[in-house]
């Protein structure tokens, strides 16, 4: 909070002393719903209750701009990565955003927002700001156990369909594998699962902060720090952050390159990243997550295993009826899976994807997207040619 205030103050000074903003993108400051409306698409807002009381907001683009309303369409559920939300599939304009492209190709597009992110900070009995410890007590495990089934059931019921196409980025793939491995009945509800930058095993991640966290000693420090300062919620949506991005990362700012370096630090360098779009991305992202999420991913790396959260022997006994966390059995994932991965991704490592691929039951596509960093799957200038055209071909076979 203090750091944010300081940055805000510095950005005010920057405003006053000479910086003029001539070149901020006209999509700056728009949220998911506003972006969808601005580009001329229909939008619906759905409130979905999970079995453990969270109230999730899912955004729907029921059809494309020039399609008729009444045709039968196959639903596609888009599930983002950690600290991302519905906006991240529609913030690259009409021709480069996968959300819009799918709608124009005749699909019924549903954009999920996880528990704890901007639109889904709601619960039947808990308050996200008052009961932070309980509210943010989740990782991809609970998302897979509750949020995804709730979304899938809601969509199938609303559309009178038996199955849907699932497309996810990063954590959206980990939570899918967790769901399909522990609730195998959901495999039948999936026509095909498309995974961008797949995450299950995290052992070979190269990102610096994650590497630091992936030692038991540092992870203990992190967890103590989180408890001491009650930092259960991590990187929530912040209007001041988007103001800072508008000020420092626009096309006229000498600091724009530095802003891009932050993205590269997180995800790997990219020659496909359009820096002009940084203020638009920062208008909605980061959208929030839980400290436990990062702790769980670090545990996976330390244990060299894809498994449930490790609470320590005593609580593991209570939670799982065994002293160690149960491993997810990836052979139970029988839905057709398409894996898109890269050798330039600091978070989704080739070795880890190969191991995942060898354990899944039904991998139908495994493609290297050359040169992509972790975020290019959403925001690269050439994502249509490099990725989305191929995805459209693959899902056509299951439509």
Annotated catalytic residues are 170, 345, 374
3-class state of residue 49 by DSSP: strand
Quick one: which of 11, 24, 25, 141 contacts ligand NAG (CB under 6 A)? 25
Q: Pick from 210, 196, 174, 208: which is nearest to 372 by CA?
A: 196
Residues 305-364 that bind ligand NAG (CB under 6 A): none
Q: Shortest distance, CB of residue 271 to ligand NAG, whole angstroms?
A: 10
User: Which stretch in 113-121, 153-161, 282-290, 293-301 sits in contact with ligand NAG by CB under 6 A?
Assistant: 153-161
DSSP string, 139-172: -HHHIIIIIHHHHHHHHHHHHT-S-EEEEEETHH
User: Which stretch in 2-10, 38-46, 152-160, 229-237 sits in contact with ligand NAG by CB under 6 A?
Assistant: 152-160
Alpha helices in the chain (DSSP H): 2-16, 32-38, 93-96, 98-104, 132-135, 140-142, 148-159, 171-182, 208-213, 216-229, 239-248, 256-267, 278-282, 291-303, 313-320, 350-359, 376-379, 383, 389-396
Closer residue to ligand NAG, CB minimum distance, 243 or 270: 270
Q: Taking every pair of C-alpha atoms in the chain, what is the biggest distance, in angstroms? A: 63
Quick one: which of 67, 276, 334, 357 contacts ligand NAG (CB under 6 A)? 276
Closer residue to ligand NAG, CB minimum distance, 238 or 381: 381
Closer residue to ligand NAG, CB minimum distance, 27 or 345: 27
157 touches ligand NAG (CB under 6 A) = yes
381 touches ligand NAG (CB under 6 A) = yes
Evaluate whether 390 touches 382 at the Cβ level (below 8 Å): no
Evaluate whether 98 touches 89 at the Cβ level (below 8 Å): yes
Exposed e or buried b for every residue in 109-137, given b needs 16+ CB within 10 A?
bbbbbbbbbbbbbbbeebebeeebeebbb
Quick one: which of 161, 223, 274, 357 contacts ligand NAG (CB under 6 A)? 274
User: Which stretch in 108-116, 240-248, 274-282, 314-322 sits in contact with ligand NAG by CB under 6 A?
Assistant: 274-282
Q: Shortest distance, CB of residue 130 to ligand NAG, whole angstroms?
A: 28
26 touches ligand NAG (CB under 6 A) = no
Instruction: Number of residues interacting with ligand NAG: please give it, by CB under 6 A.
Output: 9
Q: Pick from 289, 345, 355, 305: which is nearest to 140 by CA?
A: 289
Q: Is the dihedral of CA 344, 348, 350, 353 positive or negative?
A: negative
Closer residue to ligand NAG, CB minimum distance, 238 or 276: 276
277 touches ligand NAG (CB under 6 A) = yes
Closer residue to ligand NAG, CB minimum distance, 161 or 381: 381
Q: Which residues share a beta bridge with 79?
A: 168
User: Which stretch in 120-128, 179-187, 272-280, 323-331 sits in contact with ligand NAG by CB under 6 A?
Assistant: 272-280
Closer residue to ligand NAG, CB minimum distance, 190 or 277: 277
Q: Shortest distance, CB of residue 27 to ligand NAG, whole angstroms?
A: 8
Tally Cβ neighbours within 10 Å of residue 217.
Answer: 7
Quick one: which of 29, 53, 93, 106 contacts ligand NAG (CB under 6 A)? 93
User: Which stretch in 101-109, 140-148, 154-162, 254-262 sits in contact with ligand NAG by CB under 6 A?
Assistant: 154-162
Q: Shortest distance, CB of residue 15 to ligand NAG, whole angstroms?
A: 23
159 touches ligand NAG (CB under 6 A) = no
Closer residue to ligand NAG, CB minimum distance, 131 or 153: 153
CA distance 390 to 226: 42
CA distance 133 to 195: 31
CA distance 381 to 274: 6
Q: Shortest distance, CB of residue 333 to ligand NAG, whole angstroms?
A: 25
Binding site for ligand NAG (CB under 6 A): 25, 93, 154, 157-158, 274, 276-277, 381
């Amino acid at each position: 909070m203090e750091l944010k205030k300081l940055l805000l103050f510095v950005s005010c000074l920057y405003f006053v002393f000479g910086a003029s903003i001539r070149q901020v993108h006209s999509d700056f400051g728009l949220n998911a719903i506003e972006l969808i409306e601005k580009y001329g698409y229909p939008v619906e807002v759905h409130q979905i209750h999970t079995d453990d009381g969270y109230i999730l907001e899912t955004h729907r683009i029921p059809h494309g701009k020039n399609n008729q309303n009444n045709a039968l369409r196959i639903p596609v559920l888009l599930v983002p990565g950690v600290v991302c939300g519905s906006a991240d599939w529609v913030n690259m304009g009409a021709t480069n955003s996968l959300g819009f492209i799918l709608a124009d190709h005749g699909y019924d597009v549903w954009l999920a927002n996880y528990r704890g992110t901007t639109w889904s900070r709601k619960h039947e009995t808990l308050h996200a700001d008052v009961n932070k410890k309980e509210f943010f007590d989740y990782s991809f495990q609970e998302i897979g156990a509750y949020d995804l089934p709730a979304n899938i059931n809601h969509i199938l019921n609303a559309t009178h369909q038996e199955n849907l196409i699932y497309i996810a980025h990063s954590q959206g793939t980990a939570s899918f594998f967790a769901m399909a491995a522990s609730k195998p009945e959901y495999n039948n509800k999936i026509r095909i699962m498309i995974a961008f930058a797949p995450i299950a095993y995290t052992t070979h991640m190269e990102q610096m902060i994650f590497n630091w966290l992936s030692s038991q000693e540092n992870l203990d420090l992190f967890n103590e720090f989180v408890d001491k300062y009650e930092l259960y919620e991590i990187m929530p949506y912040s209007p001041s952050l988007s103001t800072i991005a508008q000020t420092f990362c626009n096309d006229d700012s000498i600091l724009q390159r530095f802003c891009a370096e932050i993205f590269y630090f997180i995800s790997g360098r990219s020659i496909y990243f359009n820096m002009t779009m940084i203020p638009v991305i920062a208008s909605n992202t980061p959208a929030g997550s839980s400290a436990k999420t990062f702790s769980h991913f670090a545990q996976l790396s330390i244990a060299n295993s894809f498994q449930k959260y490790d609470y320590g022997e005593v609580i593991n006994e209570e939670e799982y009826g065994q002293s160690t966390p149960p491993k997810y059995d990836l052979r139970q994932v029988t839905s057709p899976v398409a894996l898109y991965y890269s050798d330039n991704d600091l978070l989704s490592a080739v070795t880890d994807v190969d191991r995942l691929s060898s354990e899944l039951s039904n991998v139908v596509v495994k493609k290297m997207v050359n040169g992509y960093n972790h975020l290019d799957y959403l925001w690269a200038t050439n994502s249509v040619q490099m990725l989305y055209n191929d995805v459209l071909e693959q899902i056509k076979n299951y439509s």
